[in-house]
Amino acid sequence: MTCDELNEHIDPFLDNELGLAEAQKIQQHLEQCPTCESLYASRLVVRQALQKPEMRFLPAADLSDQIHGELLKQIRPPARRTWGLPAFQFPSWAWPSLAGAAAVLLLWFGSNVFLTANRSANSVIATVTGQLVSDHMRSLLANHLIDVVSTDQHTVKPWFAGKLNFSPPVYDFSDQGFKLIGGRLDYLGNQEIAAVVFQHRQHYINLFVWPKNEATNFPDATLQKEGFNLYGWEANGLTLWAITDADPETLKAFVDLQRQKQTGAE
Amino acid sequence: MNEQEKLARFEGEMLPLMNDAYNLARWLVQNEHDARDMVQDAYLRAFKFFGGVRGETSKAWLLRIVRNVCYDHLKKRQVHASDAEIENIPDHNSPETKLQVKSDIAAVRSALANLPEDFRTVLVLREMEDLSYREISEITQVPIGTVMSRLARGRQQLADSLKQMRAKDLV
């Protein structure tokens, strides 16, 4: 092999794109020829410099949310309201499962398919609660439990009022052991929902609230899913689901307090 | 496959590749704002054509679209490459070595940013995205021989300009 031939093949050699026989010829030449050896060394320097992880640019954390939002617009009519998305970002590993869940939920929220498809209430509940469990877990895992931190219901309630077109019930039950600690916007499918957050000893309770779907009527439901306890009911035109890792009796006590207050408020 | 299923499958397959798409776009258009737009446009374009038969991997397919979107943009705007921004470099090093490393990285970034687009593209795809000649040829729509010669010339120019920078520093 001549130096000219080597010159022509040094890049595919470096990139592992040569057959074994050719690669061996290059190797032999490099061992005997200091000029070509130094060319190869300078290629390696460039490679090492380019392959440093700091050379890569990383997108801002909100880009995948933004793209997801634009993609949704491709398959749905534009949303009726246009305020900015809340700061929460889904971790990228969660996309495949979230996208799946979102797709199922879109069937329900995005169209009238639900009315005609004759899906049972149970299967809708299963879908919704599956998503709520994810929301709950993510709120704990991603350290994004609360957007507005306050133990004062008169702070939390107006905060929601500026962000949603419905008004979730916000009461503090500190005296009964369920301390209001704040509120957050979350998602059910593509719909923005309220999450009112309570603390009971070392447990957190997310109370998810959104406007009742007029087309449906759900009975109270209580169930267990992935180690969490859930309780769902409808009141005052709202659908409410409480979820926690505390035991079912504690959850029931919490729900009863909520319902008493809500009934009183009517 | 209805639209919702299509979107779910598309996002499951394509969103994990967003960092790769962004890195390529960012190196091609050379600023953060445009790079975001490019990636978003590429995803919308990809979604439109998603589901057809493809002879290439998802990554090569997406990056081909990103590359095309970026080239269209560059052509339209006649944007001339400015030096790549060198701030916001992730810092994996101890404070003692930080300054030295930072200046090395800055030098390499600026050298790469100043290469002609065609050379820059193949170097990013080969060295940062670890793609084969065949994949790079699919993405850039040129024969493998051209990929090879662009890599060779790009690397040579990069080596030369790094040598020059070091020489200047020594004076």
Q: Give the minimum alpha-carbon distance from A4 to chain B in angstroms, rounded to a whole number.
A: 13
Q: Which residues contact A133 (CB under 8 A, 6 or more apart)?
A: A225, A226, A228, A230, A243
Q: Which overall architecture, per CATH, does domain B91-171 show? A: Orthogonal Bundle (1.10)
What is the enclosing helix (H) or strand (E) of A223? strand A221-225
Residue B125: per-residue pLDDT: 97
Alpha helix positions (H), chain B: 3-14, 18-29, 32-49, 58-77, 95-113, 117-123, 133-140, 144-170
Which chain B residues touch A100 with a CB distance below 8 Å?
A: 8, 12
In the DSSP assignment, the letter for residue B141 is: T
Contact between residue B156 and residue A38 where contact means Cβ atoms under 8 Å apart: no
CA distance linking residue A132 with residue A219, whole number of Å: 18
Confidence class for position A56, pLDDT limits 50, 70, 90: very high
Task: Nearest by CB to A107, from B4, B36, B126: name it.
Answer: B4
d(CA A186, CA A153): 19
Contacts of B158 in chain A (CB under 8 A): 46, 49-50
Q: Residues of A numbered 150-189 whose beta carbons fall under 8 angstroms of chain B's beta carbons: which are they?
A: none
Q: Which of A57, A67, A95 sits opposite B43 (nearest CB)?
A: A67
- 3-class SS at A43? helix
Q: By C-alpha distance, which of B47, B64, B37 is closest to B9?
A: B47
CA–CA distances in Å: residue A157 to residues A88, A139, A153, A170:
20, 19, 6, 6
Region B11-19: mean pLDDT is 92
Token readout for B94 is 């101890």
The sign of the torsion formed by the CA atoms of A29, A32, A34, A37 equals positive
Question: How far, in whole angstroms, is CA A101 from its chain's centroid?
Answer: 11
Candidate from B89, B90, B128 with C-beta closest to A50? B128
Per-residue pLDDT at A113: 38
Digit-coded pLDDT (tens) for A60-95: 989 999 999 999 888 865 444 434 344 444 455 555
| Interchain pair A59, B123: CB under 8 A | no
Task: Report the distance separating Cα B10 and Cα B27, nearest Å.
Answer: 25
Which of B40, B90, B155 faces A70 most closely, judged by CB atoms?
B40
B16 and A92 within 8 Å at the Cβ level: the answer is yes
Q: Using a CB-CB distance cutoff of 8 angstroms, which residues of chain A are in contact with residue B23?
A: 56-58
Percent of chain A with pLDDT over 70: 79
CB contact under 8 A, B4 and A46: no
Average pLDDT (B45-69) is 89
Check CB contact under 8 Å for A63 and B26: no
Of B4, B39, B91, which has the smallest distance from its Cβ to A103's Cβ?
Answer: B4
Cα separations in angstroms, A240 against A168, A195, A211, B5: 9, 10, 9, 28
Element (H, E) at A97: helix A95-109
Find chain B residues with C-beta within 8 A of A15's C-beta.
126, 133, 151
Triad A236, A240, A243: Cα angle to 5°: 160
Report angle CA B81, B87, B91 to the nearest 5 degrees: 130
Pick A42's closest partner by Cβ from B5, B11, B159: B159
Alpha-carbon gap: B103 to the closest alpha carbon of chain A (Å): 12
CA dihedral for A81, A83, A84, A85, sign (positive or negative):
negative
Nearest CA in chain B to A57: B23
List, by residue range, all CATH 1.10.1740.10 domains of chain B: 1-82
Whether B171 has a pLDDT exceeding 80, the answer reads no
Return residue ranges of chain B for CATH 1.10.10.10.
91-171
**pLDDT of amino acid B96:** 44
Provide the ipTM.
0.82
Q: Does residue A234 carry a pLDDT above 80?
A: yes
Contact A49 B16 (CB under 8 A): no
State pLDDT tens for residues A92-147. 555 555 555 555 554 444 443 333 333 456 677 777 888 888 888 777 766 567 77
Q: How does residue B81 score in pLDDT terms, banded at 50, 70 and 90?
A: very low
* DSSP states along A45-69: HHHHHHHSGGGS----TTHHHHHHH
Interface check A63 vs B, CB under 8 A: yes
Question: Is A99 near chain B, with CB under 8 Å?
Answer: yes
Q: Which amino acid type is present at position A97?
A: S
**Residue from B1, B4, B101, B162 to probe the interface with A (highest A Cβ count within 10 Å):** B4
Q: What is the DSSP string of A177-191?
A: TBEEEEEEEEEETTE
Domain B1-82 falls under CATH 1.10.1740.10: yes
Tell me what the mean pLDDT of segment A156-183 comes to.
Answer: 89
